[in-house]
Structure 1
Amino acid sequence: MGIATAHLSDTIAREERGHRYTILEVCSALGGGISQIGTGYWARHYGFFSPSIFMSCCSVAALICTILLRSKQADTQRLLNDSALRVEDQEVETTRLVKSGVKSIFKQLREIFRIYTTNSCECDGCEGGKCRNLVGKSKSRVWRLWFYLLTYVVYMAAVDGYEDLMTMFLVSMPLCFSPNLVGIQAGLSSVVTLISPIVVNIYRLGFHISNQTILLTGIFYRIVFCALFLLAKDAVLIFVATALGMFTCITMPFIRVQISDLVSQSEQGPALALVPCIAKLVNTVSPVILLTIYPATLYILPSFIWVVIAVYFLVALLIMVTVWIADKVNDKTVDQNVL
């Protein structure tokens, strides 16, 4: 996902990235959903050998597709290894493009560190390495980048945590879902994500909503999702909450969009590389925390865990509201300077 996102950043115009990132997220969710549902039945009736071979073939097909990908701007952009060279030569003004092979992992980490600790952007396509294509937000991008990363951490901590306890919650009191209902809920969760690109287009083209506002709506619907699960006594509210997935699954792509908008083209790879690394770390820690809280609070209120998860999303929402207000103030200041 990280490599695919970086590739889209290199080949897609800024205003189209949110839509394309959402489609990428939909494909990932749909593939995972089909795999979870389909391979279970396959293995049950035909054993594990044939589905294992099939999934191996899918991996080979993905590898071939990746090899065939080539950036349309390959001659004017550097990715992770190339931009890492700038750390050594940052005092030398040059517009020469450097092409290199595999570089030290330490140089790559230093480039990521530079991006997330300096406000100045560097771009291969601009004179003197300073990017002229970014808006005023880039002048104070460091705190914004870290706020987006923090939001991603809190948001994914909630999402990864509740996905691991979802089945236990559904089959327990007071819902007592049958295996069929659990499967339908999982299938609906994957299917509704197909509608999310349409939702993004309605937001952008119909209502002309900014990327930051779209991000806020995605987090807000997650809080509504938790409220419905908290109040649910039967299957109706559960399926209504699951249907909100068409609005909620746009959150992660638009966090990546906002990070992408704060860095230059040659910084896309290093900037976005940190996101999947953090996601893996959160995916390891968060389920342990929520799966510890869930059984400990069953005697208080079976659905109390959704209050805890809603607090996670509320924190993420407040962080993004802070950035939204800062962007509004910044845009107003820029307009006044232009006048």
Structure 2
Amino acid sequence: MNCSKTNVSFLLLCLITLIVTYGTLLTVVVKIQFIYWKVAESHNTTHRVTTDCGNSTSSEIDQLVAKEVSKWTLEFDMTMFLPASIAGIIVTSWGDRVGRKIAMTIPVVGMVLSNAFLATSIYLNWPLKSLFLYNLLAGLGGYYMTLLMQGYAYISDITPSVDRGIRMAILDTCLGIGGGVAGLSSGYWIDSQGYFAPVMTCTIMVAASLFIIPLLPDSHKLRRQLAEERESNVNEDQSSTSSNPSYGTCDDVDQKNEKNPKKKGYNLLDLFRSVWNVYSSEFSHCDKCHVTGDDCNTLSKTSSDEMCPHGGGKYPGRVWRMWCYLISYDFAMFVNVGSSVFLTIFLLSQPLCFNPVLIGVQSGMKFAVGALTPFLVIIYQRVLSFSNNFIIMIGFLGWFGYALLMSFANETFLVFIATAMLTFGYSHTSYIKAQMANMVSEYEHGASFALLSSSEILTFLAATVTFLTLYSSTISIYHGFAWLFAAIVLIIPMILMTIVWIADKRRRNQLLDNERKPILS
């Protein structure tokens, strides 16, 4: 019964993600091309002229427009990502206390209001400065990344650790499908109906997701039901096989804390404190077993796992692993976002000179190859028996090859060959999040993703500043320099993941040699 509920919950979550992704990413593509058109219009030219590669005068205008578009995009993104970085960490951690559905609603409402304002701005042909309010409205709600982190936390709540990577990869595939359809339709839609119709449609679609979110079952209740089933199974196994004390149901700790139950508050300081604990301590709190850092001070100092069935207790080496995963994820998003913010300008400019249809095809192909990710990770895990860390490395290598080849792309076919390399490039972020969720208790999933959400938003800002500045500064020297820089940056997370891979392999070998010991004395 609970298994069917979790499957239905996951399908509803995928549907919400698909709808919001399509609406959000199509709006982003339309917004960038709208900015390009407005800037070109201000120079008494048209979008068609700025992409005419056969005219030297057009080439000068093209570079001027590209630089100005980069400047506007940078200022707009700063207006969005600065407030979103603060809202993201608060809303995502808050989901541990009030539930995922309420926390999901906040960024969606922000996106609906911002998209409605963008549609109004386009319809009334307001000046570009009006888009500052659009970005501010989206940022105050935490924006798209906060919704995604709530989705990953929801999956972590209702999914056993062994299946989290695959389910997160499937959810990421929904992002790919939504983004692929958005990319394929954007060029034709803009050519046929202009900018207003796509944005207005996206606003209605994202608003429709607000009626689906309440249909999601409460992940906290599902988690408690699954935990009770696991505990009953553990009790049966213990009564039939051993009389040794165990941490299985945490009875000792539960009785110890019955007289002094923990008070659950929702003040802001507690939210930040719970996030900091995840990234500064090897001990996970468990609300069910009332395990805290103070309780864990009495635990034996061994290298074996010392965790309750809900993930509370000691995880040796968790702190530095969490930071390695966090930094690697941020570098991955730095390159992903950084390459996306100037990709449209890169393709519109010389020597490629793509038209809106080709831009849509490339964008659609880029996201659509991600649809193969669930099939690939199933082969990786269940056929080839690859470890999670090795799957992460494959993803980084796919993105490294994509960025390196794009740096030399001066023909259309090279762009599409490079994009095809991303077939292997969409597994790493899913498994990084799964690894992070596996190192915390079931009551800290939101806290573990809260800092990830905030750092991802700040990474969006840093990537936007870095790549738009770098691209506009080097476009006249070397058209693909920003791509070469992206490939070099990816070497850093690959080194970090190699270190974690080696450490985890040694830890697994050590655990095989040690018998499991009771955690509480």
Identify the TM-score tier after normalising by the shorter chain: 0.7 to 0.9
Take 2:324 and 2:316, find their aligned partners in 1: how far apart are those partners?
15
- Counterpart pick for 1:172 among 349, 355, 365: 349
Against the structure 1 CA distance between its residues 247 and 75, is the aligned structure 2 distance closer, same or farther, given a 3 Å change threshold? closer
- Structure 1 residue 35 and structure 2 residue 198: aligned? no
- Counterpart pick for 2:167 among 7, 20, 27: 20
Map 1:190-269 to 2 at 5 A: 190-269=367-446
Q: Larger RCO: Structure 1 or Structure 2 (Cα < 8 Å, ≥ 6 residues apart)?
A: 1
- Counterpart pick for 1:294 among 464, 471, 490: 471
**Residue 20 (structure 1) shift:** 0.8
Q: Give the structure 1 partner of residue 273 of structure 2.
A: 110
**Residue 238 (structure 1) shift:** 1.7
Take 1:169 and 1:310, find their aligned partners in 2: how far apart are those partners?
16
TM-score by structure 1 length? 0.85
Deviations 1:194-218 (A, max 9, x none): 1111111111111011111101110
- Structure 1 residue 282 and structure 2 residue 459: aligned? yes
**Which amino acid counterpart does residue 451 of structure 2 have in structure 1?**
L
Q: Give the structure 2 partner of residue 11 of structure 1.
A: 158
Deviations 1:28-79 (A, max 9, x none): 23223433543564465446665455333322332222222124652765xx
Deviations 1:221-241 (A, max 9, x none): 111112221333422232122
**Residue 184 (structure 1) shift:** 1.6
- Dislocated runs of 4+, deviation >6 Å: 95-99
Take 1:38 and 1:191, find their aligned partners in 2: how far apart are those partners?
13
Against the structure 1 CA distance between its residues 76 and 182, is the aligned structure 2 distance closer, same or farther, given a 3 Å change threshold? closer
Give yes or no for contact 1:18–1:253 (8 Å, CA) kept in 2: yes
Against the structure 1 CA distance between its residues 99 and 107, is the aligned structure 2 distance closer, same or farther, given a 3 Å change threshold? closer
Take 2:473 and 2:291, find their aligned partners in 1: how far apart are those partners?
59
**Residue 151 (structure 1) shift:** 1.0
Stretch moving more, 263-272 or 41-50: 41-50
Against the structure 1 CA distance between its residues 173 and 49, is the aligned structure 2 distance closer, same or farther, given a 3 Å change threshold? closer
Q: Give the structure 2 partner of residue 122 of structure 1.
A: 285
Deviations 1:67-117 (A, max 9, x none): 22124652765xxxxxxxxxxxx9x953798796x7122211111111111
Map 1:48-197 to 2 at 5 A: 51-71=198-218, 74=221, 77=224, 93-94=256-257, 103-126=266-289, 128=291, 131-133=307-309, 138-197=315-374
**Residue 177 (structure 1) shift:** 3.2
Give yes or no for contact 1:137–1:262 (8 Å, CA) kept in 2: no
Please list every run of 5 or more consecutive structure 1 residues that lacks an aligned counterpart in the other structure: 78-89
Take 2:394 and 2:388, find their aligned partners in 1: how far apart are those partners?
10
Against the structure 1 CA distance between its residues 168 and 103, is the aligned structure 2 distance closer, same or farther, given a 3 Å change threshold? same
Give yes or no for contact 1:122–1:264 (8 Å, CA) kept in 2: yes
Against the structure 1 CA distance between its residues 104 and 323, is the aligned structure 2 distance closer, same or farther, given a 3 Å change threshold? same
Take 1:98 and 1:10, find their aligned partners in 2: how far apart are those partners?
21
Take 1:181 and 1:43, find their aligned partners in 2: how far apart are those partners?
13
Take 1:179 and 1:58, find their aligned partners in 2: how far apart are those partners?
23
- Structure 1 residue 333 and structure 2 residue 480: aligned? no
Give yes or no for contact 2:406–2:480 (8 Å, CA) kept in 1: yes
**Residue 296 (structure 1) shift:** 2.6
Take 1:64 and 1:210, find their aligned partners in 2: how far apart are those partners?
39
Q: Give the structure 2 partner of residue 323 of structure 1.
A: 500
Take 1:171 and 1:10, find their aligned partners in 2: how far apart are those partners?
43
Take 1:9 and 1:60, find their aligned partners in 2: how far apart are those partners?
26
Against the structure 1 CA distance between its residues 8 and 188, is the aligned structure 2 distance closer, same or farther, given a 3 Å change threshold? same
**Which amino acid counterpart does residue 60 of structure 1 have in structure 2?**
A
Take 2:454 and 2:503, find their aligned partners in 1: how far apart are those partners?
27
Give yes or no for contact 1:22–1:196 (8 Å, CA) kept in 2: yes
Take 2:480 and 2:290, find their aligned partners in 1: how far apart are those partners?
57
Larger radius of gyration: 2
Against the structure 1 CA distance between its residues 203 and 99, is the aligned structure 2 distance closer, same or farther, given a 3 Å change threshold? farther
Stretch moving more, 300-309 or 257-266: 300-309
Take 2:204 and 2:393, find their aligned partners in 1: how far apart are those partners?
39
Deviations 1:143-186 (A, max 9, x none): 11111111122221111111111123223344343443222211
Q: Give the structure 1 partner of residue 124 of structure 2.
A: none
**Which amino acid counterpart does residue 27 of structure 1 have in structure 2?**
C
Take 1:183 and 1:218, find their aligned partners in 2: how far apart are those partners?
24
Q: Give the structure 2 partner of residue 82 of structure 1.
A: none
TM-score by structure 2 length? 0.57
Residues matched between the structures, number: 326
Take 1:99 and 1:52, find their aligned partners in 2: how far apart are those partners?
46
Against the structure 1 CA distance between its residues 127 and 284, is the aligned structure 2 distance closer, same or farther, given a 3 Å change threshold? closer
Against the structure 1 CA distance between its residues 290 and 55, is the aligned structure 2 distance closer, same or farther, given a 3 Å change threshold? closer
Against the structure 1 CA distance between its residues 107 and 231, is the aligned structure 2 distance closer, same or farther, given a 3 Å change threshold? same
Take 2:356 and 2:451, find their aligned partners in 1: how far apart are those partners?
38
Against the structure 1 CA distance between its residues 53 and 158, is the aligned structure 2 distance closer, same or farther, given a 3 Å change threshold? closer
